[in-house]
């Protein structure tokens, strides 16, 4: 019984995370309050030399808080990219503002050379996503933001530790937010951080006050997150013999595990769990992950470079940009009939990734509710149609990467044969 190759099933969890979660579960008096939250915030303050770093229970809570502190609300417009998760435009809608969707470039990030066509007199901010840990062209985007006197916000949910010319993403804009979701760069199952940079126009006191007025998450919600590493420690080794799949299904059906996106979010509705404070219990989990950041990212880059060298000759395959400073949270390839490859891999016991197989993910998002209108999003539409994510997570070995590579080559040969 070995851990399957599975891109989204608790990829960051190690034995020390499991033991910590078990210990925390049996100390419920420290679930909401303690010193861990302050330690995490101080880590971000030091790392980013920030004016302030304020924690929340999710990345979308952090974005919503930044928008509030910036005074963005009804009547305002905020530019976000197409080819993203609904968790990005949702906070814009929750703030009362209107998301405006921009097309992407070959890096799968906002195309700065198309950006100005989306700016109007109502535009107040631009959210720049560093997709899959590949930095956006933030330097050019920043020039445009400054020209139009717009607030610039970096979405670093995929990119903690990524750099541009040795400068960390998250330090270029007025503000940045990070996610500690279950399959992000580091993980406490849920959690997020809002960082206000020293040169920013955003009021850091308003941000802190926003956080202080929030409730703590419910005890049951915290328990759901703490249970996550324990369940997957049991489930993953038996996942490919169906017992694991059945157990996981039962835990989800009994609502003992939470989902990364709540069903109401697909209709731009705000779940009752957001926004809230970052609970001490999850901060304790994150403190175990933070010292592993460089190790995790170096491993991701090692696996990514192995894919680059091993897949470069495969016909019909487009590899991601090879970008200095990228951390490749997921190694995204373009391939015709991407959904067929995902199905083929699943039959072979390998779970590849489908970020983002819809232009605004996941399946079932109400485009009307999130203010998405059809337009000339040629790059975003292509990316949604042909993207498949290959895993780079910390527990993945080179031997497992070889299995993924061989699978893709076999699929390519079958496709050519047809």
The tens digit of pLDDT for each residue in 6-15 reads 999 999 999 9
- Name the token pair of 140: 């050019």
316: phi then psi, degrees, rounded to nearest 5: 80, 10
Task: Using a cut of 0.95, tell me whether the model's pTM lies above it.
Answer: yes
Please report the pLDDT score of residue 415 as a whole number.
Answer: 64
How far apart, in Å, do the first and last CA atoms of the chain sit?
35
Separation between Cα atoms, residue 249 and residue 12, nearest integer Å: 21
409: phi then psi, degrees, rounded to nearest 5: -65, -40
The tens digit of pLDDT for each residue in 226-276 reads 999 999 999 999 998 889 999 999 999 999 999 999 999 999 999 999 999
Please report the pLDDT score of residue 1 as a whole number.
Answer: 55
Other Cβ atoms less than 10 A from the Cβ of 122: the count is: 12
DSSP H/E element including 351? strand 350-351
- Which residues share a beta bridge with 84? 360
Separation between Cα atoms, residue 292 and residue 298, nearest integer Å: 10
- Which residues share a beta bridge with 78? 99, 125
Sites in the chain below the pLDDT cut of 70:
1, 415-418
Please report the pLDDT score of residue 338 as a whole number.
Answer: 96
Please report the pLDDT score of residue 342 as a whole number.
Answer: 97
Residue of 72, 29, 92, 43 lying closest to 289 (CA atoms):
43
Separation between Cα atoms, residue 316 and residue 305, nearest integer Å: 19
Please report the pLDDT score of residue 375 as a whole number.
Answer: 85
Q: Residues near 324 by Cβ (< 8 Å), separated by ≥ 6?
A: 163, 165
Please report the pLDDT score of residue 340 as a whole number.
Answer: 96
Please report the pLDDT score of residue 241 as a whole number.
Answer: 85
List, in order of start, the domains of the chain with CATH numbers. 29-212 (3.40.640.10), 293-417 (3.90.1150.10)
Other Cβ atoms less than 10 A from the Cβ of 127: the count is: 27
Please report the pLDDT score of residue 171 as a whole number.
Answer: 98
CA 412 vs CA 39, 45, 91, 336, 384: distances in Å:
48, 47, 40, 10, 19
Please report the pLDDT score of residue 376 as a whole number.
Answer: 86
């Amino acid at each position: 019984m070995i851990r399957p190759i599975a891109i989204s099933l608790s990829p960051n969890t190690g034995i020390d995370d499991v033991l910590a979660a078990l210990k925390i579960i049996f100390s419920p008096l420290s679930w909401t309050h303690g010193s861990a939250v302050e330690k995490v915030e101080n880590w971000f303050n030091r790392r980013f030399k920030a004016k302030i770093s304020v924690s929340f229970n999710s990345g979308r809570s952090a974005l919503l808080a930044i928008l509030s502190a910036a005074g963005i609300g009804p009547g305002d417009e905020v530019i976000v990219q197409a080819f993203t998760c609904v968790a990005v435009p949702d906070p814009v809608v929750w703030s009362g503002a209107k998301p405006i969707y921009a097309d992407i470039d070959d890096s799968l990030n906002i195309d700065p050379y198309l950006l100005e066509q989306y700016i109007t007199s109502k535009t107040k901010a631009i959210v720049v996503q560093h997709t899959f840990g590949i930095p956006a062209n933030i330097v050019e985007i920043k020039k445009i933001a400054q020209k139009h006197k717009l607030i610039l916000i970096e979405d670093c949910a995929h990119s903690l530790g990524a750099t541009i010319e040795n400068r960390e993403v998250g330090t270029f804009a007025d503000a940045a937010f990070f996610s500690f979701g279950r399959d992000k760069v580091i993980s406490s199952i849920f959690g997020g951080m809002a960082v206000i940079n020293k040169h920013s126009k955003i009021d850091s006191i308003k941000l802190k006050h926003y956080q202080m007025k929030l409730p703590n998450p419910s005890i049951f919600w915290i328990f759901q997150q703490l249970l996550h590493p324990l369940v997957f420690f049991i489930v993953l080794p038996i996942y490919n013999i169906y017992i694991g799949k059945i157990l996981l299904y039962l835990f989800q059906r009994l609502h003992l595990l939470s989902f990364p996106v709540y069903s109401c979010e697909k209709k731009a509705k705000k779940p009752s769990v957001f926004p809230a404070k970052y609970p001490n219990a999850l901060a304790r989990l994150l403190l175990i992950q933070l010292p592993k950041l460089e190790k995790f990212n170096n491993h991701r880059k090692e696996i990514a470079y192995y894919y680059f060298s091993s897949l470069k000759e495969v016909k019909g395959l487009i590899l991601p940009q090879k970008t200095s400073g990228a951390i490749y949270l997921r190694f995204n390839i373009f391939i015709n009939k991407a959904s067929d490859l995902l199905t083929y891999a699943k039959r072979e016991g390998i779970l590849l990734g489908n970020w983002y197989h819809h232009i605004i993910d996941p399946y079932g998002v109400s485009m009307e509710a999130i203010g998405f209108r059809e337009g000339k999003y040629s790059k975003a539409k292509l990316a949604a149609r042909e993207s498949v994510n290959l895993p780079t997570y910390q527990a993945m070995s080179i031997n497992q990467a070889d299995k993924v590579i061989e699978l893709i080559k076999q699929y390519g040969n079958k496709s050519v044969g047809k």
